[in-house]
Each structure stands twice: as C-alpha cells, then as structure tokens.
Homo-oligomer: A and B are copies of this chain.
C-alpha cells in the first residue's frame, strides 16, 4: 500500500551518490562519505552494490594518491540526449552516462519557418543523434523557448516563431521515441548546465541571464533550480518599465530582436545617412549590422548601443538587488555584442547595485558556449532518472507498481 520508507531512503542515498559522482566526475569512497555525510563503512557497501549493478566503475589506481582507485560512472551504462532550439536554430547533444559529450549537431532554420517544419527538423535532429548511440538511450530532454509548461510538455507561447502556441512537444516526441521524455525551459536547462560544470559550479545561489533573440532568466537557489508555480518563474522578458515612451517590456528594450526593431523605428524619425540607408535597405537587419554602422561613426546608433548597455545594466542591477546572488552568469550574444554595450552595462550595473551587495555579486560570462542549453537538457536526464527528492522517488515507485499491476492483469 504505502511506499516503503526503507527502500525510498536507500534509493535517495544511492541516487545521491550517483549524482555526486556525476557532478565531480571522479572521486574516492571517502570523499563521497564526507560530502554526503554518510558513514564510510556504509559508503563502501553502497559503492560495492553500485559497482556490481554496473553503474559505477573503478578507474586508474595510479590516479589515487592513497587508498583504492577513484570511482567513475560507467560510461557504457547508457547515454542521454538533449535538444535545444529557438527561433534561428536547434542544437543537439548526445552524452554518455558520465555526461561526456559523444556527439553534437546544430541545424539552422530559415526565416519564417513554419511550426510544422520546426517540429520536423528537431525530431529529425533527435533521431539522427539517437541513431548514433551505441549504448542504451536513457532519456531525451527538450529545452524549449518561450513560455513552457513542463507538466504537459508543451510550449504555451513563443513570440519568435510563427504560430507557436500550445505546441505539444512531448506528445510529438512520444510518437517517435520509446525513451523517457521531458520538456524544460531552455534558459533553465542552460542554467543547469552552468551549475553543474560551468560558471556556476560551486555556487549555491546564482542567476543565469540569457539575452539573445529573446531574454530569459534561470534562477539557482540553494544549489537547485527554482521553477516557481507552473514552472513559470524567470519570465524576465515580461518585466515592465514605465519609460519616457510609456510602459515597455524588458524584452523590447534589451533583446536582440527588440533592440533592432526599436532602433529601426528610431532611424525613421531621424535624418537619413548612407549607413542608415544601407540598414533600411536590408531585408533582415541584425544586431551586428547596427553595430558595424555605429562603430563606423554613427553617433545616433552609438547612443542607442549605450542605451542598450544601460538597460542591461539596470536589469542586472535590479536582479542583483532582489536576489543578492553570488554571481550573475551571462549567456547569449547580446551582452558581448560590442565593447560599448558591455562596458556601459558593467558601469550601470555597478552604479545601481547596492554597495553592500556589490561586494559579493559580479557579472560573469557563461563558460559552456552555444551548446549549454542542449547540454543542460541532456544532463538533466541523469537527475530525472536518479532523483534525490522523496516525492519524485515515491512517484517513480508508484508508476512502477502500476506497470506491474497492469502486466499481471494482462
């Protein structure tokens, strides 16, 4: 009837061990015992069981200065797939049981790609990578853009793809795959990757601000991703500011798309120059286009870039004052699109962050690059399969029992 506390507690401990090894890559029994506050004798027993279950392996004995050989996850045990997509491209990662990258692939989308095509392209990408797997594929994580409902595995709305409302991502993937599937907000996936093995490694509280076509925020509190109700936390793009032009959304002020659109609008009210004309003649103006005209000496555009930096600085300062995090990890191309923007951003950030908070918090670039979201989605598979919180585990146990029940009945 009730789930067995003893089994659950044991599973929590074993999963905790596996997760710790996943995080640290390699460690000895004693390290694990100390870090997880488990008796060394017990740790020896647990590890032995995990080794005979084929989950852990002992590595090179020479790597240990003392005692037995350090432990690793058995890379052959299985692999994880992560897919990350947004308006312009999709990226996929296939990693082994220890999280090491086996395969990676990126595909670009043409402009105004249809909803159906996006789905087909990411499905194809996932299949291609899954086919290359030479070991059991344990889970597929999908890092989706826009407003994501993780529960139902759908994208509720994404502004930058046409007709992208109520998109049943998980359902579509379930038709093509047998594997465990989950959908996560792409910024949270990115933040998770940075937490595990990127700039956030070792930090208990930090924020991950991604500014590219859109903007998003990943919140790590107490070493865990914070999702809020409905898993909707971090919708930083919808922050509203009462500016000279009336209320404006953060996404319109600092995202690449928002900035380009508002800048083009501004140009139309100013006198024309050669550089600006060139911009207006283009079919699709990018942030880089504006920067190159600005750096060629266009004062109006340069001022715009400074404004962009200022807005980014205010945004990060506000986040710092609210969360007092250890750091704010920056991702996406916008914060580093140009020196002008970055410097102004830093300056404004320092200006408006409380001095006391400024003593600890700082801006840092993400260290995992463009595949961070896909990596995070893949790595998340590990904790999903080996969860350490009671509720998820009890849930898992119940589902297993139900499955048993069904098979015995049939």
How many copies of this protein are present in the complex?
2
Provide the bound-state CA to CA distance between A356 and B235, in Å. Answer: 11
* Interface flags, A222-245, vs B, CB<8A=1, else 0: 101011111111111011111110
Instruction: Return A344 CB to nearest CB of chain B, in Å.
Output: 13
* Contact of A229 with B321 at beta-carbon distance under 8 Å, contacts A39-B5, A241-B241 already known: no
* Interface flags, A25-59, vs B, CB<8A=1, else 0: 00000000000010100000000000000000000
Instruction: Return A309 CB to nearest CB of chain B, in Å.
Output: 13
- Please, which residues of chain B bring their CB within 8 A of the CB of A390? 37
* Contact of A238 with B324 at beta-carbon distance under 8 Å, contacts A230-B357, A232-B357 already known: no
Task: Considering the complex, give the chain B residue whose CB is closest to the CB of A319.
Answer: B322
Provide the bound-state CA to CA distance between A221 and B318, in Å. Answer: 19
Provide the bound-state CA to CA distance between A239 and B231, in Å. Answer: 24
- Is A242's CB under 8 angstroms from B243's CB? yes
* Contact of A354 with B243 at beta-carbon distance under 8 Å, contacts A221-B226, A228-B325 already known: no
Provide the bound-state CA to CA distance between A239 and B39, in Å. Answer: 47
Residue A317 is within 8 A (CB to CB) of chain B in the complex: yes
Provide the bound-state CA to CA distance between A156 and B357, in Å. Answer: 12
Residues of A within 8 Å of B, CB-based: how many?
49
Provide the bound-state CA to CA distance between A314 and B240, in Å. Answer: 7
Residue A164 is within 8 A (CB to CB) of chain B in the complex: no
Task: Considering the complex, give the chain B residue whose CB is closest to the CB of A39.
Answer: B5
Provide the bound-state CA to CA distance between A263 and B147, in Å. Answer: 39
Provide the bound-state CA to CA distance between A236 and B149, in Å. Answer: 28
